[in-house]
Amino acid sequence: MEAIARKPSYSLSTSVPLENPPRIIPYSSSQTPTQQPQHQFPTYLENPDVSPMARILCEILTKTPPQGLENALSSTLIKPAPEIVEEVLNLSFRSPSAAVVFFRWAGMIQKHSASCWNLMVDLLGKNGLFESMWDVIRSMKQEGVLSMATFVSAFRGYCSLDKFNEAVMAFDLMERYGIHADVVAVNSLLSAICRKDNEMAKALEFFERIKTTIPPDADSYGILLEGWEKEGNVAKAKETFGEMVIRVGWSPQNMAAYNAFLTTLVRGSQVDEAIKFLEIMKGKNCSPGLKFFSDALDTLIELNDTAHVVALWDMMASSRLLPNLRVFNSIIALLCDNNDIDGAFGFLDKMVFYGVFPDSLTYNTIFQCLIKNKKVREAGGFFFEMVKNEWPPTHSNCAAAIKMFFDGYDPQMAGEIWTYMFRNHVLPLEESSNAFLIGLCDMGRLTELRRLAEKMLDRNIGIKESTMAKLKHAFNKDGRSTTRDAYDSLIRKWKSS
Residue 171 near residue 185, CB atoms below 8 Å? yes
Percent of the chain predicted with pLDDT > 70: 91
pLDDT of amino acid 1:
39
Q: So what's the pLDDT on residue 5?
A: 36
Residues 391, 103: Cα–Cα separation, whole Å: 64
**Chain segment 58-74, per-residue pLDDT in tens:** 999 999 998 899 999 99
Are the C-beta atoms of residues 359 and 389 closer than 8 Å to each other? no
17 Cβ neighbours under 8 A, 6+ residues apart:
none
C-alpha distances out from residue 398 to 261, 372, 428, 441, 489, Å: 45, 12, 11, 18, 29
Q: CB-based burial of residue 21 (10 Å sphere; 0-12 exposed, 13-18 middle, 19+ buried)?
A: buried
Return the half-sphere exposure (C-beta side, CA atoms, 13 A cut-off) of residue 390.
Answer: 1
The torsion defined by the Cα of 240, 244, 250 and 255, in degrees rounded to 10, comes to -50
For residue 203, CA distances in Å to 214, 220, 225, 240, 396 come to 15, 11, 11, 12, 53
Which residue type, as a one-letter code, is found at position 233? N
pLDDT at 13: 26
Q: C-alpha 140: how far from its chain's center?
A: 39
- Dist CA 272 CA 278 (whole Å): 10
Rounded to the nearest 5°, which phi and psi values hold at 394? -70, 165
Does this model's pTM top 0.85? My answer is no
Query: pLDDT tens-digit profile of 417-459?
Result: 999 988 888 888 898 899 999 998 888 888 888 888 888 888 8
39-58 tens-digit pLDDT: 578 788 777 888 899 899 99
pLDDT per position in the chain (497 positions), as tens?
334 433 332 222 223 334 333 333 333 434 555 555 555 787 887 778 888 998 999 999 999 998 899 999 999 998 999 999 999 999 999 999 999 999 999 999 989 999 999 999 999 999 999 999 999 999 999 999 999 999 999 999 999 999 999 999 999 999 999 999 999 999 999 999 999 999 999 999 999 999 999 999 999 999 999 999 999 999 999 999 999 999 999 999 999 999 999 999 999 999 999 999 999 999 999 989 888 998 899 999 988 999 899 999 988 888 888 888 999 999 999 999 999 999 999 999 999 999 999 999 999 999 999 999 999 999 999 999 999 999 999 999 999 999 999 999 999 999 999 999 888 888 888 988 999 999 988 888 888 888 888 888 888 888 888 988 888 888 877 767 777 777 778 888 888 86
Res 263: pLDDT: 94
Cα-only R_g, the chain: 35
Q: Give the amino acid at 320.
A: R
Crossing angle of the two packed helices 306-318 and 271-283, in degrees rounded to 10: 10
Exposure string of 199-237, with b = 16+ CB inside 10 Å and e = fewer, is bbebbbebbeebeeebebbbbbbbbbbbbbbbbebbebb
